[in-house]
Chains A and B, each alone.
Chain A
């Protein structure tokens, strides 16, 4: 049962393991947000969607004994919140950021209200996929136990890239996001395209929530997301609205979460508040580096965040 201590090798291992374990929620939420923003709308409410997804996945898994059913319900719960956001944010002269903040409060409030009875019990978890058949070292075996939802996210990233670049529907989404007037002239329903993008994006964020409560850390509580949904929204800007770069950025954020505890476990205990804050510092740095008053961001959809007249 006891294994050899890894010493200093534990730090890079913990960061790699943290990356594989912890980046799935970032990845799924940021892919969802990427799709939403490509259509020209911002959905800050994905923080609430993430919590709602985490709660409903856990509750359904506990009540039915089937974690996969929980994942699906989490996605559906996300879509439900997405429909509300998609409708509200597209009303005339409505600001989508303000709606998003309201949706964070609504989504998390609803999740806390419905989730109270599920904090205590233990729900069946998603199975793990092990990539460690080749090693006998228990630490590596544990690090290489991967969430199926992470694999799903990794598969979706290049698919979404292809979707935007080469598919007819992807072009529609981009047209609506870059130049709604031109899209309208083509006879495309802006409302429907944006609604579909927001709802699909919210579905992914809901599944991201399922990965929090049914895989890692694998439990439902009110503090389960600790701001990961909002960080994932910031990450989309960092990734320049490019799904494959969303994947890289999510891996970076997942790994950053592991730094603080890993350093303390090998005896570096100075400044742990600082190390623990590394994901948040990273978000701030990204914002500072990418924001400039002089130029607009390359890759930003042309009509992003503009209210309809």
Chain B
């Protein structure tokens, strides 16, 4: 469904005709203005939105938002990628330079550089959430440049993963498990685990808890620890050593021992963006406004 008035119409009929009492809206543009407008019209219905940023006092109290820190999984994928790469040059095919995407690029690169500080990530922005021809061109160009592990943040990673397999290089997945598309070169992947998130919501709702009575928090965020994410099973090209390193990183992210954005971190123009000794935990608002690429990323946001 496009992010237009059609959203409001169908939510309205879900409530009026089907008697829905909880609405889940899962595209970024559904939140403002559509979900917000309807939440005011139907104060007794609960609205849960994926990805939007709920602001207390500004937004109606029957609105909640949920999202995951998938960059944790990208960090671990970076660790695996650095082990698999022989050229130590990784490639990232990204749609648009917005904070969520840049955070994935940076976390992937920081993960790789935790294994080999000389590793670099070439990023190519296609400018579009879905443009299969340009994604394939980007993947082929990077393979031509000697890059030997590709990953991506676009709507459908299928073309990137398949092109990498055809070119005989490695790939790590995104959104879901793409191992079937690349039986040789698929290393691992950053996956959402929505079933877990929704199961929690359902059991809360069944228990009579609501956003309005305070039983359900307005902002639900989480990473590995909260069951929002998982890694794809390791592919055949992943060495035992790489597996070990990945599992350690994942365990440390869960325990909180490992903080991805821990100073000093420089951007790729040499400017310090996170001062030495400073730690930005996953909930830090600075990270949701990221507009820089870390040292080791080749590309620019402009």
**Residues on A close to B: CB < 8 A?**
1-7, 10, 13-14, 17-18, 21-22, 119, 122, 138-139, 142-143, 216-219, 221-224, 226, 228, 257-258, 260-262, 264-267, 269-270, 272-273, 276
Contact = CB atoms under 8 A, between A and B. Distances in A.
Interface residues of B, number: 44
A265 B131 contact: no
B145 A10 contact: yes
Contacts of A228: 133
Contacts of A262: 137, 141
A54 B157 CA distance: 19
B210 interface: no
A230 to B, nearest CB: 14
A55 to B, nearest CB: 13
A267 B136 CA distance: 18
Contacts, number: 130
A261 B150 CA distance: 14
B274 to A, nearest CB: 23
B167 interface: yes
Contacts of A1: 86, 148, 168-169
Contact of B132 (A5, A223, A258): A223
Interface of B: 85-87, 89, 122-128, 130-138, 140-148, 156, 158-159, 162-163, 166-169, 180-181, 298-300, 302
Contact of A216 (B136, B142, B156): B136
Given A18-B140, A224-B133, A266-B145, 6 more contacts: A14-B140, A142-B143, A221-B158, A223-B128, A226-B132, A257-B133
A6 B124 contact: no
Contacts of B167: 142
B163 to A, nearest CB: 7
A8 B137 CA distance: 16
A101 B156 CA distance: 28
A216 B122 CA distance: 23
A264 B140 contact: no
A219 B300 CA distance: 29
A276 B134 contact: yes
A272 to B, nearest CB: 6
B137 A14 contact: yes
